Amino acid sequence: MPTISVENYLKAIYHLEQQGEEGGLVKNKAIAEKLEISLPSVTSMLKSLADNGLVVYERYKGVKLSPDGCSQALNVIRKHRLIELFLVETLQYTWDEVHSEAELLEHAVSDKLAAKIDAYLGFPDSDPHGDPIPSVDGQVRVSSAIPLNQCSPYCTAIIKRVLNQSPELLRYLKELGLVPGSAVDVVSVQAFDGQMNLSVNSTQGETSAIITAQTASCILVLPQ
């Protein structure tokens, strides 16, 4: 069984692979920053992961997950997301609280418990942030959702996912009704800084919101 530390590295590498360009290696620096660990520590861990066949490591270039490493990463991410949804569904956690709890629990939940949670929740597609829940065999549903800041005025779209785990941001978005499932109309976009004026149709009714391009880039939507 991999250690907690190994699981965290695999998860970090997986996430960084997702956000980097197709086929590119993940840089050591990026891992160091994500895990808040020194660069030499990363180098030494990558060697060890490579020795164990979990990553393919090219000196001075970076790493990518091996098939084995990828499936282990997905198993942890699966648990993380199942836990998040479970905490919201059963214990009335809010979507800004669950990430940090899941970050600890993901390493202590057995495959059996994950399967029970999955069944209890009715085999859900995604967690409270809209992040897809990998299946037991490592399949991840892909989505064609795009960042909201790429939408033009008069565009109408449904929010599918929020790519940020900051509790402050999540509380702010919830306040504005900007949560998965809500519909947004792009009323206008500031030419010079991309600030967006939105009309939001959420469970809280019809409201309006003004957010920065930066914030909008974390919100993935499916234009209608």
Partner DNA sequence: TTAAAAAGTTAGCCAAAACTAACAAGGCAA
Partner DNA sequence: TTGCCTTGTTAGTTTTGGCTAACTTTTTAA
Residues contributing to the site for its own copies (CB under 8 A): 87, 90-93, 101, 104-105, 107-110, 112-113, 116-117, 120
Q: Does 192 bind DNA (CB under 7 A)?
A: no
28 binds, among its own copies, DNA, none (CB under 5 to 8 A by kind): DNA
141 binds, among DNA, its own copies, none (CB under 5 to 8 A by kind): none
Q: Pick the closer one to DNA by CB: 37 or 140.
A: 37
Q: Which two tokens stand for residue 186?
A: 């792009």
Give the nearest distance from C-beta 39 to DNA in angstroms: 4
Assess 38 for contact with DNA (CB under 7 A): yes
Which one of DNA, its own copies, none interacts with residue 44, CB within 5 to 8 A by kind? DNA
Would you say 200 and 207 are in contact if contact means Cβ atoms under 8 Å apart?
A: yes
Size of the site for DNA (CB under 7 A): 25
Q: Structure tokens of 15?
A: 């996430």
Written as six digits, the tokens of 71 are 């499936």
DSSP notation for 44-91: HHHHHHHHTTSEEEETTTEEEE-HHHHHHHHHHHHHHHHHHHHHHHHH
Q: Residue 162: which of its own copies, DNA, none does it interact with, CB under 5 to 8 A by kind?
A: none
- Work out what residue 213 binds among its own copies, DNA, none; the CB cut-off runs from 5 to 8 Å by kind: none
Among positions 39, 91, 210, 222, the unique one binding DNA when judged by CB under 7 A: 39
Q: Cite the DSSP H helix spans in the chain.
A: 4-19, 28-35, 39-51, 67-91, 98-105, 111-120, 167-176, 213-216
If one counts every other C-beta atom within 10 angstroms of the C-beta of residue 210, the result is 13
Write the binding mask 129 to 158 for DNA: x where contact by CB under 7 A, - elsewhere: ------------------------------
What is the spatial distance between Cα 58 and Cα 5, in angstroms, rounded to a whole number?
A: 21
Cβ-based neighbour number of residue 80 at 10 Å: 24
Q: Which residues contribute to the site for DNA (CB under 7 A)? A: 3-6, 8, 27-29, 32, 36-48, 59-60, 62
